[in-house]
Amino acid sequence: MPAMKTAFFTICSRNYLAYALTLRESLLAAEPGHELIIFLADEAVGSNELAGIKTIAVAALGRPEIASMAMRYSIMEFNTAIKPFCFEHLFRKMDFEAAIYLDPDIKVFGPLTQVHDALQAGASCILTPHILEPLADECSPSDVDILKCGTFNLGFAAFARTAEAEDFLSWWASRLIDNCFSDIEHGLFVDQKFVEFAPSFIGALHVLRDPGYNVAYWNLAHRTVETSGNAWQVNGQPLVFFHFSGIAPGRPELLSKHQNRFQSTNEAGVRGLVEAYLGKLNDHGHATWSKVPYAFNAGPDGQKIPDTIRRHLAIRNTIDAPLSPSDAAYWNAPSERVDQVSGTVITRLMLSIYESRPDLRTDFPLSTAEGRRSYHAWFLAYGAGEYGLPDVWIRAALARSTLRSPAISRRLARLRSALARLKRRMRGE
């Protein structure tokens, strides 16, 4: 049987291109004859910046839903939300018979032979579980943490162009249009939780349990990484690909910021992997690419769009339109769902943030006047800075505040000074 026409692809925004280029280099070495297609959840890059490398900007997918999704989701949410759309594009527009997705922060060490074999044998979908054994210690992530995020890690997924796979991808894409939030409290974790249905919806599903595939911080408790000659092994088997999720350039001791079970300095084999990987990121221009601004980070006025606003855009029915000053006016208005207190205000934006945070709901009960005053003070002194909110989104709260804690006073002074400088520039002074 002739080999299937198979695509390898990843998804990233421009600030993550050093990761994607590192992945590409490793894939070309491990899978000669294959190319890595980079889907950009962002604007396109210049024609000379990635010469000879296949990139597809999200606008080229030609899906009308995507413009609203870019406004609705944070950068991480948006990158994951377009995954089934990319699979569909490869099948419908580029005529691939199979497609293999790899997260950009993966490095490939050997050919994905078991994936190719499973696809050739008739698998419609191939997935890797986060863990293959229970986690018995008290470290993070625990098995409960993983349960909240999903059984399967979607840093890897492979689909064949079969009827049941295409049906699943179409359904998955439809769910991610509105529900690709990182919102574990309400049972959502970007694209992963929906794939819990894959064993039920896809008859020809192959669960890949080889310890050499998708090695990462969440399964290292059961996988020993070491060298054998010039090759890397996991539990005595060839290492196929390692997932450097949560790695922190500049901090080689930190295997992943998402866990507290391991440090690379305490894991001899892993330390070598981390140091080599960080070196490759540098070689591929991480210092430059990481500073490239995200195209969908701000509205037409250049003001940053707070993620909490993105999540509630559908309420305003503005999801298909760019943010405008009227949006800021809406979110700056006092919330009609809160009894307001003289000398302070709880705006719609403040309430949105409050309702998304269990800790705030515990610390500041808005059912009491004192709780409302305390939350107002926290928001001005700390919350606005924590969320990186520009002045346009907090001006109303500041204008109505009569509270004068030292922190709030300092913030008011800084804002007044910044506004004065802006006015002078606008006048040409």
pLDDT digits (tens, 9 = 90+) for 35-45: 999 999 999 99
Question: In the 3-class helix/strand/coil scheme, how is the chain assigned residue by residue?
Answer: CCCCCEEEEEEECHHHHHHHHHHHHHHHHHCCCCCEEEEECCCCCCCCCCCCCCEEEHHHHCCCHHHHHHHHCCHHHHHHHCHHHHHHHHHHCCCCCEEEEECCCEEECCCCHHHHHHHHCCCCEEECECCCCCCCCCCCCCHHHHHHHCCECCCEEEEECCHHHHHHHHHHHHHHHHHCCEEHHHCEECCCHHHHHHHHHCCCEEECCCCCCCECCCCHHHCCEEEECCEEEECCEECCEEECCCCCCCCCCCCCCCCCCCCHHHCHHHHHHHHHHHHHHHHCCHHHHCCCCCCCCECCCCCECCHHHHHCHHHHCCCCCCCCHHHHHHHHCECCCCCCCCCCCCEHHHHHHHHCCHHHHHHCCCCCHHHHHHHHHHHHHHHHHHCCCCHHHCHHHHHCCCCCCHHHHHHHHHHHHHHHHHHHHHCCC
Indicate if the pLDDT at residue 265 is higher than 60. Answer: no
Q: What is the mean pLDDT of the chain?
A: 85
* pLDDT at site 313: 58
Q: Which position has the higher pLDDT, 309 or 183?
A: 183
CA distance 76 to 50: 23
pTM, two decimal places:
0.81
Residue boundaries of the structural domains of the chain: 6-289, 307-426
CA dist 115 → 119, 127, 279 (Å): 6, 9, 28
Digit-coded pLDDT (tens) for 303-323: 677 777 776 655 444 444 445
Question: What is the spatial distance between Cα 158 and Cα 171, in angstroms, rounded to a whole number?
Answer: 16
Q: How far is CA 380 from the centre of its chain?
A: 28
Segment 249-263 shows an average pLDDT of 79
CA 382 to chain centre: 25
**At 138, is the pLDDT very low, low, confident or very high (cuts 50, 70, 90)?**
confident
Q: What is the pLDDT of residues 328-372, one digit of tens each?
A: 777 788 888 988 877 788 988 888 888 878 889 999 999 998 888
Q: Once rounded to an integer, what is the mean pLDDT over residues 165-188? A: 92
Give the pLDDT mean for 37-55. 89
Which pLDDT band, with edges at 50, 70 and 90, does 417 fall under? low
For the purposes of burial, counting CB atoms within 10 Å of the CB of 420, is it exposed (0-12), middle (13-18) or buried (19 or more)? Answer: exposed
Rounded to whole angstroms, the Cα distance separating 312 from 294 reads 20
- Residue 234, token pair as written in the block: 């996991």
Residue 429: its pLDDT value, please? 55
The residue among 70 and 305 whose pLDDT is bigger is: 70
Q: Which CATH architecture has domain 6-289?
A: Alpha-Beta Complex (3.90)
In this predicted model, which residue has the larger pLDDT, 127 or 225? 127
Taking residues 46-55, report their average pLDDT.
Answer: 84
